[in-house]
A and B are shown apart, each in its own frame.
Chain A
Amino acid sequence: MICAMRADLGSGGFTMPQPDLRLEIDSTPLAVRAALSQVLGHRLTTGLAPHRRGDLELVLAEVLNNIVEHAYAQGQGTILLELGARPGGLQCRVQDWGHAMPGGALPAGQLAARLPDDLPEGGFGWHLIRCLTRDLSYARIGGSNVVTFSISETDKD
């Protein structure tokens, strides 16, 4: 399917004064895996429809692993993940203190045109994030990266 690219929110997104779940995560793939397990086991997410739980896990995996691989490419750091229940879904806020996004903006996440003998082994992550979230936003705030987005309970994709 082709995902309509939703407009990003203005920079800044939303703040989350009282998150229902707050995790500090080391920037390693195994710590990300453990954090996903915690999120998926939390009462905040256990009531979501199974396919939306799958979407949430995938989106968080993509956002967090992107930070591990790129923002903290030159050294480990901490990632702050906050989730809050909102009417109709979940709000998510992810903060890290690594390198800024190139160009100061989120990647477009467009799938590369491909040739039969030149299949891409990467470049899927931001496409998936954009397909499965709403209200996606990025801001560079005081030496940190802040990405915010929502997961709707009712979206089919």
Chain B
Amino acid sequence: MLNSFMSYLGSTVTPGEAGNQFWALIYVLIIFTGVSVAVICMNWLERKALAHFQVRLGPMRVGPHGLLQPIADALKLMLKEDIIPAEADQFVFWIAPLIGLLAAFTVYTVIPFGPSQAVSDMNIGILFMLGVSSLGVLGIVVAGWASNSHYPLIGALRSSAQMVSYEVAMGLAVVSAILMTSMNASGTGTLSMIGIVQAQQQQGVWFIFKFFPLGFIAFAIFAIAMVAETNRAPFDLAEAESELTAGFHTEYSGLRWSLFMLAEYAAMIAVSSIAVTLWLGGWMRPFPNLLHAPAWDFIFSLFPGITFGGLAAIAFIGTARMPSHSFFKIQRIGLAVFAALLGFLALLLLVIAVAGRSADASLAARFREGIDYVYWFVLKVAVFMYLFIWYRATWPRYRFDQLMKIGWKVMLPISIGVLMLTAIWALVEPPLWEWMRAHI
């Protein structure tokens, strides 16, 4: 086992390609923990951000500024009574959240956090992603049926109809991004996720800016479709409390319901990662070609440390602003400790950035590179997460028939049009450049 541990270090491929099961397992565990922590943070961020949008404060009591609220929520949900409806189908009722959860988490095996930081770089990575997210629909359908009550059933059928409709537009938008990967020297594209980011690297442009505005429209279609895929506002009719049908997870309580929410947030992060990989250059830092000097590389590699330093500064300011009443003593201490942890992390990241500033293959340099890749990827995904929350706070929700009308009558034609135009332009562009270069 030590051999399998050591033989992978220094490798430049993913564990899946290297055939190293041990490291694949380690990556899987890291991703699983990471996603769970991300879901917890997302839960807190959603409550706080929504509250601030709505001129209120959000959770403030459980932990300083509500930082321990997700833990309290998780504890509460785990300790709740597990109610199963009387006539419900026991096996199917039990398995439904698991299907959704499995589908949401399996997508992460192909998501590349860096050129070799993925569990496995399948040759059909993007196809695998599309397939597994369509399996998530099954979890919802089965959950609604298993509740043996026709309100959850209607809600589940609506939810799944919505997801299936927007999958079509999503797939077509993905195809136009894949088309752009074939604009390299050899003329062959790739379906592998790492290959897509590397194609963006080679072509020197993020696909969102390629063939402007085609790449941007494809990205916009995907961005809207992914909100509908994950049943989030403004497409969250199936989960809305004020509508007549109560949603597929009505009869689920306690831990089972939290599995659904976990699957929903994990799916949100997964589709955002897909959008980032396909259009926003994945793990690449901004302006990789425009600002190419080693000095710029160094400046951009300081960003992780600066970000955490900024967060630590905000936490310190929060500590200073807390009332100095004895009621708040524990919260002040807690927040100060949290700020100190963030500051320590910031310092660590800065040290790594400085120590690994050379571009060689030393351990520090590779470590810094790995951290930079993961940082830029996670930053872009975090922007999408914030957008999800912003949408939920601002917009009313669509009626179901309007939702389906948009999915089929607006998004599908636009995505087909973008696909055709991208294909035409991809064919026409190289000869056009050559002609222009020859004659101008």
Partners in one complex: no
Residues of A within 8 A of B (CB): none
